[in-house]
Structures are given as structure tokens and as C-alpha cells.
Amino acid sequence: MSDSLQLEVHDLEVQVLTGVYSEETHLPQPLRISITADLDCPEHFAPDTPLSASKSYLDLKHAATDALPKGVHFTLIEGVADHICETVFVSDARVQRVTVKIVKLAIAEANESIGITLVRERR
């Protein structure tokens, strides 16, 4: 079994056009997005290992914020998660698996977490 490295960015709050119901389709909704990317990793990380041996966390943040197309309505949050996964895969061939968790903040009534988790393997 080979080693892998998990990069994580959790609990980003992002406004996204998403939803099925009429009250959801005209305004962005707040989503809480968390991303974990599994990468191939070198045998050892020395104190002077350069960033190129890993991946910048900002790439994950970018996939869930600036890389989401502005003005595009995603019917399902699963579509948002899929777009994020594809953006992360395209950015680095070492990424082998991406997990995206999305919580719909607008529908929570008692601070519960309602949403989905998509786990996508590189094909």
C-alpha cells in the first residue's frame, strides 16, 4: 500500500446559485463547503521540502470559490460538488481522490447539518 497525503480545507462559506424550489432559484444560497484531496506523496518530507512536493491549500479554496462559475444556477448541490471535484483534478495530476461535503445553511432550523458528501476517484 502506498502513502497518500490528504490536503483539507473545511467550512468555507460560499454564496452559490442553487436549488430546485422557486424560492431558491433567484438568489444565491449560503453553503458550507469542505474539501479533502488525496494526493500521491513522496517517501519523505524533509525540513527543506519545497511546496512543489505537495499542493497549495489555496488551490482547494479556489475550487470552491472563484472557480465556481458566476451567474450559473446549479439545480442540485451535487452539481456544485462535481464542479469542485473536476476543478481540483484538473489542477494537479497527483490528486487521486476528492471528497466534497456541502451543507445547505439556509434550510437548517436547529443548527443541524443538512447536505451531501461526494467522493470522486480519478478515472
What is the number of domains present in the chain? 1
pLDDT of residue 22: 66
* Average of per-residue pLDDT across 109-118: 92
* Distance from chain centroid for Cα 34: 6
Helix and strand totals (H; E) in the chain:
2, 4
Please tell me the distance from the alpha carbon of residue 18 to that of residue 72, in angstroms, as a whole number: 9
Q: Using the 8-state DSSP alphabet, how is residue 45 labeled?
A: -
- Percent of the chain having pLDDT more than 70? 96
Question: Cβ neighbours of residue 42 under 8 Å, at least 6 residues apart?
Answer: 49, 53
| Helix pair 57-64, 77-91: axis angle to 10 deg | 150
Residue 9 pLDDT greater than 90, yes or no: yes
pLDDT averaged over the chain? Answer: 92
* Distance from chain centroid for Cα 54: 17
Say which CATH number the domain at 101 has: 3.30.1130.10
For residue 1, name the pLDDT band (cuts at 50, 70, 90).
low
For residue 51, name the pLDDT band (cuts at 50, 70, 90).
confident
Q: Give the range of the structural domain holding residue 41, as residue numbers without chain letter.
A: 4-121
For residue 60, name the pLDDT band (cuts at 50, 70, 90).
very high
Rounded to the nearest 5°, which phi and psi values hold at 113? -110, 115
pLDDT in tens, 11-33: 999 999 998 876 767 789 999 99
